[in-house]
Amino acid sequence: MALKEFKNVSVGYIPDTEIELNKKKYKIHDVINGEDILVDTDKNYPTLSKVLKPSKDRIYDGCPYQAECGGCQFQHVSYEYEKKLKEKYLNDLFKPFDLPYIKLVSGDSPLHYRNKCQMTYKLSKTKKVVCGLYEEYSHKIVTISNCLLQANEANHVIEALNKVLTKNKIRPYDEKTREGNLRHVYIRYGFNSKEIMVVLVTNGEMFPGRNNVVTDLKKLNLGITTIVQNYNSRDTSIVLGDKEKVIYGPGYIYEFVGGYKFKISGTSFFQINTIGMEKLYNLALEKAEIKNTDFVIDAYCGVGTISIFASKYAKKVIGVELNKNAIQDAKINAKINNITNVDFIADDATNYMTHLAKDRVKCDVVLMDPPRDGSTKAFINAINYLGARKVVYVSCNAETLKRDLYLFSENDYVVKSITAVDMFPRTLHTECVAVLEKDSELESLEKLSKISKNGGNVLDELNKKNKNNSNKMRVIPKADIEMMREDQYERTGKISSKKYKKY
Ligand SMILES: C[S@@+](CC[C@H](N)C(=O)[O-])C[C@H]1O[C@@H](n2cnc3c(N)ncnc32)[C@H](O)[C@@H]1O
């Protein structure tokens, strides 16, 4: 083994360091700033062999799969150190906005917090059915029997299920040959309801041995309340296909959060950290300062969780979401919680907001929680026309949040604060709650000049624009509407011709 020593390595926000070997650069994972390390240079890709001088922040009781598994990035450091790194990253990233210090609020225990688990399958050398997560940047499956982030209940089901699958000679799906049956198993666990949903993702509808697997699983009394078969025969790395069959139980589970009951189907989005989720929503609503006369829009609403949390403060809440199944669940969720001031609409959020803006609808507060790739320019422009007093932007991707905050700043909105909630301990991710206010033009200009590289020029532009528009009720120019529609078309490939109610 050829070993090479690197002293006092330097690490940024992500716990890896860059080394140079034969004029090529390589990333070495799982190191801490200032450590001396020994690197094995024999392999195709050099790897960490030994830490010669460990940092005081290094821990040794983290996950045994950390070196190979791509699921976590911080299992080798103390949780305190991880939080410090994440907080520093966020404060540096959002520095141009000149905000109060961004605090990272802890979500929950850093271990066994995930209510959702998703495993991929293969045959072991001894022909047993085993499962695990992918290696970083690859589709090589690292066999895992007890993931430290997943709920213990889900780990128990996975362990028992693997034995049942082996006994019934189930063939795991092979990505290369596209043969075999079982692709993934996806589990949802209700920490509060104690209900468990098992989704067997198969390569198409045919699943020989399915009935025996289900019978054997039920006999084990693991607390499984429903089993669903999801068909996915596409050549894709997306886990779930779009067709499913309920094999046992109702096909969904319920979960209780913040005193509300939520119905969750296999394909609907639900926050993966149940305790963190309640903290996140309460923080977002505290920041939103909703009044009982307010019309609130909850965009990208999923199964309606934030809308339902907001309903007790607002006069009316509209939730909009692309996934039709999630909207069906959201409507049921409002009903089972006896909430009558919330409506849900299945549509692309940009499309919906653009139509509202076109119809000169006004709203008071916008709550938005888009997926990782963030929102759109047209969505943000539309909020300007809807005149929301406040926007609370919940984001699981700080980079796209930053991009979108710039777009808000080009409109009449000022970013007031960002608070982060550590919903995903031991991984690189965090959830941010950004608060924006429609503010006096003067303050917008001042902020914009601070954050823009060409502050002076933008100021002149805005001064001109504001002079023309001052004291006038805004009328959306036709060209702007076309621009919004085009932008929306780029993202979704379709424009709805639906007509919308006015509120
Ligand atoms: C991060 S999740 C938030 C869901 C919900 N707010 C929650 O906390 O459970 C983002 C949601 O946006 C939905 N979504 C994705 N693209 C969308 C679009 N273009 N328009 C509306 N909703 C969209 C997804 O289906 C998902 O439910």
Q: Whose CA is nearest to atom 25 of ligand 1?
A: 323
Q: What is the pLDDT of residues 36-87, one digit of tens each?
A: 999 999 878 898 999 999 999 999 988 989 888 888 999 999 999 999 999 9
* Cα distance between residue 445 and residue 152, in whole Å: 52
DSSP helix/strand/coil, 145: coil
Q: What is the pLDDT of residues 239-270, one digit of tens each?
A: 888 899 999 999 999 999 999 999 998 888 89
Q: How far apart are the CA of 301 and the centre of ligand 1, in A?
A: 6
Contacts of 440 (CB under 8 A, 6+ apart): none
Distances (CA, A) of 359 to 320, 438, 503: 17, 20, 10
Distances (CA, A) of 154 to 43, 172, 185: 35, 20, 11
pLDDT for res 267: 83
Q: Is the CB of 306 under 6 A from ligand 1?
A: yes
Q: Is the CB of 434 under 6 A from ligand 1?
A: no
Ramachandran region, residue 124 (left: φ > 0; alpha: ψ -120 to 50; beta: rest): beta
DSSP helix/strand/coil, 64: coil
Dihedral of CA atoms 82, 86, 87, 92 in degrees, nearest 10, equals: 140
* Cα distance between residue 428 and residue 432, in whole Å: 13
Catalytic one among 72, 117, 131, 396? 396
Amino acid identity, position 420: A
DSSP helix/strand/coil, 179: strand
Q: How far apart are the CA of 15 and the centre of ligand 1, in A?
A: 30
pLDDT at 466 over 70: no
Q: Is the CB of 276 under 6 A from ligand 1?
A: no
Q: What secondary structure letter does DSSP report for 277?
A: H
The tokens for 404 are 């979108």
> Which atom of ligand 1 is nearest the CA belonging to 298?
6
Q: What is the fold of 3-93? A: OB fold (Dihydrolipoamide Acetyltransferase, E2P) (2.40.50)
Query: Which among 118, 167, 127 is positioned nearest to 147, based on CA atoms?
Result: 118
User: Given pLDDT bands bounded at 50, 70 and 90, which one contains residue 16?
Assistant: confident
> Which atom of ligand 1 is nearest the CA belonging to 270?
9
Query: Which among 49, 33, 41, 69 is positioned nearest to 427, based on CA atoms?
Result: 69
Amino acid identity, position 467: K
Whole-number percent of the chain with pLDDT over 90: 74
Q: Which ranges in the chain are annotated with CATH 3.40.50.150?
A: 94-113+277-439
Q: How far apart are the CA of 25 and the centre of ligand 1, in A?
A: 38
Q: What secondary structure letter does DSSP report for 428?
A: S
Q: Is the CB of 278 under 6 A from ligand 1?
A: no
Look up the ipTM and state it. Answer: 0.99
Alpha helix stretches (DSSP H) within 152-258: 152-167, 210-219
Q: Which residue has the tokens 């939730």?
A: 319
pLDDT at 460 over 70: no
pLDDT at 442 over 80: no
Q: Whose CA is nearest to atom 2 of ligand 1?
A: 371
Least confident of 30-34, 234-238, 242-246: 234-238
Q: What is the pLDDT of residues 383-423, one digit of tens each?
A: 999 999 999 999 999 999 999 999 999 888 999 999 999 99
Mean pLDDT, to the nearest integer, of 447-456?
54
Q: Is the CB of 348 under 6 A from ligand 1?
A: yes
Query: Which among 129, 135, 133 is positioned nearest to 144, based on CA atoms?
Result: 133
Please give the CATH number for the structural domain made up of 116-257. Answer: 2.40.50.1070
Q: How far apart are the CA of 362 and the centre of ligand 1, in A?
A: 22
Q: Is the CB of 269 under 6 A from ligand 1?
A: yes
Residues making up the binding site for S-adenosyl-L-methionine: 271, 300, 321, 369
Q: Whose CA is nearest to atom 7 of ligand 1?
A: 302
pLDDT at 368 over 80: yes
Q: Whose CA is nearest to atom 13 of ligand 1?
A: 300
Q: How far apart are the CA of 270 and the centre of ligand 1, in A?
A: 10
Q: Is the CB of 214 under 6 A from ligand 1?
A: no
Whole-structure pTM value? 0.85
* Cα distance between residue 349 and residue 131, in whole Å: 37
Q: Is the CB of 274 under 6 A from ligand 1?
A: no
Q: Can you give the C-alpha Rg of the chain in angstroms?
A: 25
The tokens for 310 are 């907001």
* Cα distance between residue 362 and residue 427, in whole Å: 40
* Cα distance between residue 323 and residue 325, in whole Å: 6
* Cα distance between residue 65 and residue 77, in whole Å: 14
Task: Specify the CATH class of 94-113+277-439 in words.
Answer: alpha beta
The tokens for 98 are 């000149």
Q: How far apart are the CA of 269 and the centre of ligand 1, in A?
A: 7
The tokens for 316 are 């009316």
Q: Is the CB of 321 under 6 A from ligand 1?
A: yes
Q: What secondary structure letter does DSSP report for 375?
A: -
Q: What is the pLDDT of residues 150-185, one digit of tens each?
A: 999 999 999 999 999 999 999 999 988 999 999 999
Q: Whose CA is nearest to atom 12 of ligand 1?
A: 300
Q: Whose CA is nearest to atom 26 of ligand 1?
A: 302
Q: Is the CB of 271 under 6 A from ligand 1?
A: yes
Query: Which among 358, 326, 369 is positioned nearest to 345, based on CA atoms?
Result: 326
Q: Which of 300, 307, 342, 344 to mutate to test the pocket of ligand 1 (most atoms within 8 A of CB)?
A: 300
> Which atom of ligand 1 is nearest the CA belonging to 491?
19
Q: Whose CA is nearest to atom 11 of ligand 1?
A: 300
* Cα distance between residue 346 and residue 327, in whole Å: 6
Q: What is the pLDDT of residues 92-135, one digit of tens each?
A: 999 999 999 999 998 778 999 999 999 999 999 999 999 999 88
Q: How far apart are the CA of 371 and the centre of ligand 1, in A?
A: 6
Alpha helix stretches (DSSP H) within 388-498: 398-410, 441-451, 455-469, 478-492
> Which atom of ligand 1 is nearest the CA belonging to 372?
1
363 is catalytic: no
Q: Do residues 327 and 344 lie in contact, with contact meaning Cβ atoms separated by under 8 Å? A: yes
Q: Do residues 393 and 402 lie in contact, with contact meaning Cβ atoms separated by under 8 Å? A: no
Q: How far apart are the CA of 320 and the centre of ligand 1, in A?
A: 8
Q: Is the CB of 301 under 6 A from ligand 1?
A: yes
Q: Which ranges in the chain are annotated with CATH 2.40.50.1070?
A: 116-257
